[in-house]
Amino acid sequence: MKLWEKGIRTEPSIIEFTSGSDRETDLLLTRWDIVGSMAHAVMLETVGLLTHNDAHDLLTALQSLMLTDKEKGIKIEPGVEDIHSQIEKELIALIGDKGKKIHTGRSRNDQVQVDIRLYLRHETDRLAYLIKNLFLKLNALSGKYKEVFLPGYTHMQPAMLSSFGQWFGAYSEALADDIHLLAGARKTINRNPLGTAAGYGTTLPLDRKLTTELLGFENMIFNSAYAGLSRGKAELAAASALASVAQTLSRLSMDICLFMTAEYHFIDFPDELVTGSSIMPQKRNPDVFELIRARMNLVQALPVQICMITGNLPSGYNRDLQLLKHLVFDGYSEVGQSVEILLLMLESIKIRENILENPAYNNIYSTEEVNRLVRQGVPFRDAYRQVAEKIKESSFSGTSLSEYTHHGSIGNLCNEEISLYFESAMNEFRIRTPDEYAEEILKRGGVIQKL
């Protein structure tokens, strides 16, 4: 069954090629497609395009399909093109010709778009709360180890004094920026395309404001032609936010891999969280962090992939857009899994103290010595040269540290301010399940809820 069939048998290899991996990816949209259809049915009755009895039967059948999917999962049968065709087929099997009325005033274009946006909104909300857990963990570690000193590096060379508190805090603030980008992506995603049909509207008297309300969208996509152009925009916004999170996770993982080496030996993990070698008994490998680094580097390529697919497309729907779905869906999965495993690892991180007792780090106090001379009235450039000469002659030794009191320094990490900045974006996210939306829509349609 294909929603566009006209009685002509299409060559099976054409269907196989054009469907691609969509049949598997589509299963992630099943319940969102049912929810979108519920909202559409309520709207069709409201504007007089469905009788009350027809709408009631459609909603009851859709409710039944929701329960079926929860219990055993709806499968796409052989010969059925996608989940949208499968659900319509199921409706017709349940209530006969009334099931054929669900597509009134709707194209597969706006049907697919609303499903994708509902799914992406939910995944964005879910990911935001996962990131919040990681943020809280990093922020707590920053406070816990704020007085454990660490050499700060630039150009891979010891540079200045830092602390584990500053290191953990830097990544927590990176996540705070990431969560703001994710909130921006959610705003782009959270607009309703339903009712724009194939991108040019319809002569039927649809109430798009009603479906916008029922589906919890912030607003509708106003211009029907833009609804088609927006394919790729929502995905690009999501991918860009995912790429930003991925960069944070990748760089944190790289630091951890480096800090775990025998040469650095700043941090460690319990034996049960690292792997070994088949021939080298001493090996303790940070496989988890190496895989996070690699997987997140791939996620960082997502925006480029999306731009390559959409960059030269004409307006209106083009089948190229089908390829966006699994790219972005997989991106959410990869980032979510990486956040979860990072949380597990950080629960058991071991911090080494007294790192700065190593003579290799003596010279990281040189900038502090320059500053001490400056406070005594020595011009900065002269103070710099004096200390540089001592280092050259190997006569420099560590100096006493002044208090780091300015905002963002090791003595004033601003973790509370970073927390407030993070939380200001979290207000944009709200996890709601398909069941919750379905129950409210069914209530509007006068159907008893049993979900």
Half-sphere exposure of 50 (CA within 13 A, CB side): 28
CATH (domain of 82): 1.10.275.10
Neighbours of 15 (CB within 10 A): 12
Question: Same domain for 69 and 127?
Answer: no
Helices (H) and strands (E) in the chain, counts: 17, 6
With CA atoms as reference, report the closest residue to 437 among 216, 219, 218: 216
Q: Name the token pair of 266.
A: 């700043």
Examine the domain organization and report whether 299 and 339 are in the same domain: yes
Query: What is the full DSSP assignment across 30-81?
Result: HHHHHHHHHHHHHHHHHTTSS-HHHHHHHHHHHHHHHHHHHHT---PPTT--
pLDDT at 394 (0 to 100): 84
* Parallel/antiparallel/unpaired status of strands 350-351 and 267-268: antiparallel
The continuous run of DSSP H or E covering 152 comes out as: strand 149-154
Whether residues 126 and 172 share a domain: the answer is yes
pLDDT tens for the chain, 451 residues long, are 555 455 566 666 655 655 566 678 899 999 999 999 999 999 999 999 999 999 999 999 999 999 999 999 999 998 888 999 999 999 999 999 999 999 999 999 999 999 999 999 999 999 999 999 999 999 999 999 999 999 999 999 999 999 999 999 999 999 999 999 999 999 999 999 999 999 999 999 999 999 999 999 999 999 999 998 999 999 999 999 999 999 999 999 999 999 999 999 999 999 999 888 889 888 888 999 999 999 999 999 999 999 999 999 998 888 899 999 999 999 999 999 999 999 999 999 999 999 999 988 989 989 988 999 999 999 999 999 999 999 998 888 776 677 788 898 898 999 999 999 999 999 999 999 999 999 999 999 998 766 6
Does 7 map to a domain?
A: no
Could you tell me the CATH number of the domain that includes residue 297? 1.20.200.10
The pLDDT of residue 397 = 79
Q: What DSSP line would sit under 181-237, residue for residue?
A: HHHHHHHHH-EE-TT-TTTT--SS---HHHHHHHTT-SEE---HHHHHHTTTHHHHH
- What b/e string do you get for 100-119 counting C-beta neighbours within 10 Å, with b at 16 or more? ebbbebbbbbbbbbbbbbbb
Range of the domain at 373: 359-413
Q: Say how many domains are in the chain.
A: 3
What does DSSP assign to residue 82? S
Identify residue 390 by its one-letter amino acid code: K
Q: What is the residue type of 145?
A: Y
Asked if residue 259 and residue 115 are part of one domain, the reply reads yes
Which residues lie below 8 Å from residue 140, measured CB to CB, with a gap of 6+?
none
Residue 76 included in any domain:
yes
**Based on the domain organization, do 183 and 325 belong to the same domain?**
yes
Q: Which amino acid is at 370?
A: V
Quick one: 227 and 322 in the same domain? yes
Q: Is residue 243 part of a domain?
A: yes
Look at residue 277 in the predicted model and tell me its pLDDT.
Answer: 80
Give the dihedral sign, CA 316/317/323/325. positive
Radius of gyration of the chain (CA): 28
What is the phi-psi region of residue 7: left when phi exceeds 0, alpha when psi lies from -120 to 50, beta otherwise?
left
Whose tokens are 């540079």? That residue is: 159
Domain assignment present for 156: no
Please tell me the predicted confidence (pLDDT) of residue 4: 45
Locus of tokens 């099976």: 12
Based on the domain organization, do 364 and 390 belong to the same domain?
Answer: yes
pTM for the predicted model, two decimal places: 0.92
How far is the CA of 371 from the CAs of 93, 158, 270, 390, 399, in angstroms?
81, 18, 41, 15, 11
Provide the pLDDT for residue 16: 60
Angular region, 378: left φ>0, alpha ψ -120 to 50, beta rest = beta
Q: 212 and 221 in contact (C-beta within 8 Å)?
A: no
Same domain, 374 and 226: no
- 214 in a domain, yes or no? no
Shared domain for 324 and 422, answered yes or no, is yes
CA distance 16 to 243: 31
Sign of CA dihedral 219, 223, 226, 228: positive
Q: In terms of domains, do 91 and 131 share one?
A: no
Q: Is residue 41 part of a domain?
A: yes
Region for 233 from its dihedrals, namely left if φ exceeds 0, alpha if ψ lies in -120 to 50, beta otherwise: alpha
